[in-house]
Amino acid sequence: MGRSVNVAVVGATGAVGVEMLKTLEKRQFPVANVKVLASSRSAGKEITFKGTTLKVEELTQNSFRGVEIALFSAGASRSREFAAAAVKAGAVVVDNSSAFRMDPNVPLVVPEVNPEDVKWHKGIIANPNCTTIIMLVALKPLYDISPIRRIIVSTYQSASGAGAKGMDELEKQTADVLAGKPAVPCFFPHPYAFNLFSHNTAIQPNGYNEEEMKMVNETRKILHDDRIRVCPTCVRVPILRSHSESITIEQDRKVSVDEALQALAKAPGVKIVDDRANNLFPMPVLSNDQYDVLVGRIRDDLSFDRGLSIFVCGDQLLKGAALNAVQIAELLI
């Protein structure tokens, strides 16, 4: 894969940071040295990487001396505060937050979709939103057959998208409800166990929430196509770590189900799960801990002529976050 490089993981104790380290190890990324960085609260904690115990260091402006690739997953405010220091020290930042995604000077990259955009980075490369990544891995092979003009997508988003605290809340509330106690919201605004609710981001003046507008704007940027119309509905469901999405597309020309299946079967990062006889299609339990995006329910859309509908699942912590970041790092070397 190339020479060994010095890597820093920022937010190393968070749900995504933990998966970044696991993914670096599992994919045998050529790490020379790795720094694990987090807030002062986590400084001193120990993390195991490749059989070695690493001490978590407090993230400061001086943390990046000698670092060549810095994987950030500590939230947008931390990224805005510390990414410039990493770049100044000579590192390339792969940022998992929303801080730089829509900056015209920052590539927004899904390696299976637009790997060539890595080439024009100026020190920072942005990881897209998890829902956008999972959707576009499945849609790019179809887009390449015939440009997509319209996307209608409903998401079924897991607790992991809100980090370890979101997952903890779902587990605690589930146990409470099963024990006959009420589900008391602490982290989320509504009861989460045995419930679902509109994604917990702020509603914009147009009636869409922030998560939904990320899907609209990021899709256009990644595909370099401002003509695509996207209508998303993002919903939080009581699932621990995999996002699911129901997607209907309208293309320039009618693409048959067989043509779509052939394209998806050859696509990188896609695994087809489409067993009609046994009613077996993508499910979170199948996509947990998997690198591929599962695609199934591939069928003609009955409501318009050039329509196709699919259902997809992807591990939010992996392809939706940590894996995508590590794949970007692999492109860099």
So where are the chain's domains? 5-128+321-332, 132-316
Select which of 121, 130, 199, 234 is catalytic.
130
Q: Is there a common fold for 5-128+321-332 and 132-316?
A: no
CA distances from 247 to 134, 138, 259 (A): 11, 10, 17
CB-CB contact of 297 with 311 (8 Å): yes
CATH number assigned to the domain with residue range 5-128+321-332, chosen from the 4 options 3.40.50.720, 3.40.50.2300, 3.30.413.10, 2.60.120.260: 3.40.50.720
Closest-CA residue to 245 (of 128, 161, 97, 138): 138
322, two tokens: 């940590």
Tokens 């810095």 sit at which residue?
Answer: 70
Catalytic residue status for 224: no
Written as one letter, the residue type at 200 is N
Q: So what's the pLDDT on residue 3? A: 83
20, two tokens: 């970044």
Catalytic residue status for 243: yes
| pTM, two decimal places | 0.96
What's the half-sphere exposure (Cβ side, CA atoms, 13 Å) at 118?
A: 22
End-to-end CA distance of the chain: 7
CATH number assigned to the domain with residue range 132-316, chosen from the 4 options 3.40.630.40, 3.30.10.20, 3.30.360.10, 2.20.25.90: 3.30.360.10
Select which of 121, 199, 234, 243 is catalytic.
243
Strands 92-95 and 124-126: parallel
Strands 52-55 and 57-58: unpaired
pLDDT tens for the 333 residues of the chain, in order: 568 999 999 999 999 999 999 999 999 999 999 999 999 999 999 999 999 999 999 999 999 999 999 999 999 999 999 999 999 999 999 999 999 999 999 999 999 999 999 999 999 999 999 999 999 999 999 999 999 999 999 999 999 999 999 999 999 999 999 999 999 999 999 999 999 999 999 999 999 999 999 999 999 999 999 999 999 999 999 999 999 999 999 999 999 999 999 999 999 999 999 999 999 999 999 999 999 999 999 999 999 999 999 999 999 999 999 999 999 999 999
